[in-house]
Amino acid sequence: MWVAPLLNGARILKHRLIQAAEETFALAAGLVQRHPRHVTLAIAALLLGGTGATYAVASLAPDAAELPVRTVVETLDVIPVPISTDGLQSQRLYRSDVTRTSDTADILLKRLGVYDPQAAAFLRTDSLVQQTLMGRGGRNVTVETGEGNTLQKLSARWSPEDDGMFKRLTVEKTANGYQSRLQTLPMTASTRLASGVINSSLFAATDDARIPDAVAIQLAEIFSGDIDFHRALRKGDRFSVTYETLEGDGEPLRAGRVLNAEFVNAGKPYQAMWFQEPVTTGAAAASTASHTLTKGGYYTLAGDSLRRAFLASPMEFSRVTSGFKMRFHPILQTWRAHLGVDYAAPIGTPVRTVGDGVVEFAGVQNGFGNVVMVKHGNKNVTVYAHLSRINVRTGQSVSQGQNVGAVGQTGWATGPHLHFEFRVNGQHRDPLTIARQSESVPVTAAARPAFNQAAAQVRQQLAAAAQMLPGSAQ
């Protein structure tokens, strides 16, 4: 029953302490006003003797040893909280990388953060893994690891052919050990926008914009009839492009087709879009409302085909080292007319025919070395000389862009290159001007409404891509 008096005493003591503090502050304020110099000295003395002042204030409170102590003991009911370790045991980590030609099973797993001797032994001995993965670079690999960084699953994806399909190799841990399987699956296409500015070369600009080389090559092909990418590029030229990326399981595996593009060369814009013109197949098609698609091609946004009768170059992308002009012959040591164009390229670089035709000659001929001659119609002949190999035969029909051989150094060649000629009625012409002079075919009247609708969408896409200089986005 002594608790109530104790609380009353504490309240009285607190009230008296507050009252004493207020009176002390009022007295101090009066002293400061009347004797400021003396008060300053007093404060200094107080700071030097701070311990004693602290004791004087503290001594006003009751002694803690004299306060009563009471022990309270209560029983608490503890509610058990279940702790599950299932989440920790099933935790999975995922890592990805790209294979290298120098990879072994142990090197690949180590780079992926996998430390599993059993998995490494399986990869070393499994024939499917050895045939499709080890020693082959550029293949996307993803691993799933469990406790202790042990391998639970490995997946590798790649696209060996340009046929819209990809391969998936899976190595998975089972109750009976590791098992592997290989599947062939269809890729899916996503669309990306990109743009860039030419500072030194087309490939340097596309690299800066993170655009695949395959797309850069397509750009050069699309506009090759209007732009000489060997000699006419200028610093400050810019481009915008929309292209497909082909994916397997959501991972980009291969660049697809360029869907539309714009290239501004020396201030002049050139635009192109991919279009497939629907063509009805006659009465049967009318009765079934079905149709087939012609082979698509690139058109200007006005509807003119960019496919010319002849390509501007017999190689996808290369460097002109000697043009159609007078030059000092490196072997004969005299000034002579150079009746073709020389393209510098490594031995083995594919060479293609610039137009549809028939192989008139395929074999060895004097200074030309290994040479292929293709006749186009009744009056045009193209010549592909100094080849390291020939891939066609005399009398064979070839289509524009078809491979006819590979760059070499045969005949009177002082270094690896392709010598290319264009002859019209037996007279040599500058090959670099032929493509620009060849005719193009516009969109038909029946397909014009569908084309105009597609062209309007392309204009919007190109405008969006142009705002991204330089870079790319999905």
- Residue 21 phi/psi, 5-degree rounding, is -65, -40
Note down pLDDT in tens along the chain; length 474 residues.
Answer: 444 454 455 566 556 666 666 666 566 556 555 655 555 555 544 444 444 433 333 444 455 556 566 666 666 665 655 555 454 445 778 999 999 999 999 999 999 999 999 999 999 999 999 999 998 998 999 999 988 889 999 999 999 887 889 999 999 999 999 999 999 999 999 999 888 999 988 889 999 989 999 999 899 888 877 887 777 889 999 999 999 999 998 888 889 999 999 999 999 999 999 998 775 555 444 443 344 445 678 999 999 888 777 887 888 755 444 433 444 445 444 434 557 888 888 899 899 998 899 999 999 998 899 999 999 988 899 999 999 999 999 999 999 889 999 999 999 888 898 999 999 998 888 877 776 666 666 888 888 999 999 999 999 888 877 776 555 444
Question: In the prediction, which pLDDT does 102 show?
Answer: 92
Rounded CA-CA distance 214/222 in Å is: 12
Question: In the prediction, which pLDDT does 45 show?
Answer: 45
Rounded CA-CA distance 146/151 in Å is: 7
Question: In the prediction, which pLDDT does 59 show?
Answer: 43
Indicate the burial class of 422 (C-beta count within 10 angstroms; 0-12, 13-18, 19 or more).
buried
Under a CB-based contact definition with an 8 Å cutoff, are residues 353 and 310 in contact? no
Rounded CA-CA distance 336/134 in Å is: 54
Q: How many residues does the chain have?
A: 474
User: Is the pTM for the entire model greater than 0.75?
Assistant: no
Placement of tokens 């030097």 in the chain = 48
Question: In the prediction, which pLDDT does 99 show?
Answer: 93
Q: Could you tell me the two tokens for 440?
A: 């193009």
Question: In the prediction, which pLDDT does 287 show?
Answer: 41
Question: In the prediction, which pLDDT does 345 show?
Answer: 85
Under a CB-based contact definition with an 8 Å cutoff, are residues 255 and 209 in contact? no
Question: In the prediction, which pLDDT does 69 show?
Answer: 61
Question: In the prediction, which pLDDT does 19 show?
Answer: 67
Please give the angle made by the CA atoms of 299, 376 and 326, to the nearest 5 degrees.
95
Rounded CA-CA distance 116/119 in Å is: 5
Nearest to 172 by CA among 162, 180, 164: 180
